Amino acid sequence: MTDRYRANFYVLLQFVLIALLFLAPRMDQPYGALSPVLSVIGLIFFVIGAALLLISFLRLGRSLTASPIPKNDGELVTTGLYARVRHPIYFALLVLSMGVVLDAGWWPQLIVVVMLYTLLRIKTEFEETLLSRKYRGYKAYAQKTPRFFPRLTR
């Protein structure tokens, strides 16, 4: 399997899982009396995830691609959110996804989030191999910066 085929497969599967997450039905009162509270918490997670996603997209600039294969004209970004976590886009997707699950309360969506997390782990292992080949400082950056979830302290 070529790197390009593998990259395209991961991207396609990622978008299918995201679509499943958003297209799954929403329950009316998934958590009983706690539903309104968890719905608000879910909305907060969703907004935070969306904001982090936008900031991460903008920070990557010309290096932005859905593919795990780095762009030829890209550069390694290690500042801003990227100083706190190596893959803030994936972190943002997971935060946003948990917001959807909290709001919608449909258990199959939780399964989709677990599948998305698993795919993102596999995709980042492949991506980081390619980033290490392309950028001399990537291994040192990876050793000091968490993959998905930022540390609360430095």
Residue extents of the structural domains in the chain: 3-25+35-144
The rounded mean pLDDT for the chain is: 91
Structure tokens at 59: 């920070």
Q: What percent of the chain has pLDDT over 90?
A: 75
pLDDT, tens digit (0-9, with 9 covering 90-100), for 122-137: 999 999 999 999 999 9
pLDDT, tens digit (0-9, with 9 covering 90-100), for 87-107: 999 999 999 999 999 888 777
Q: What is the pLDDT of residue 152?
A: 73
Q: Which residue has the higher pLDDT, 31 or 148?
A: 148
pLDDT for residue 153 is more than 80: no
What's the chain's Rg over C-alpha atoms? 17
Cα–Cα distance measured from residue 134 to residue 72, given in angstroms and rounded to the nearest whole number = 9
Cα–Cα distance measured from residue 139 to residue 56, given in angstroms and rounded to the nearest whole number = 21
pLDDT for residue 111 is more than 70: yes
pLDDT for residue 154 is more than 70: no
pTM of the shown model: 0.90
Q: What is the pLDDT of residue 71?
A: 93
pLDDT for residue 82 is more than 70: yes
Quickly count: other Cβ atoms within 10 Å of residue 142's Cβ.
Answer: 14
Specify the CATH number for 3-25+35-144; select among 3.20.20.80, 3.30.70.660, 1.20.120.1630, 1.20.810.10: 1.20.120.1630
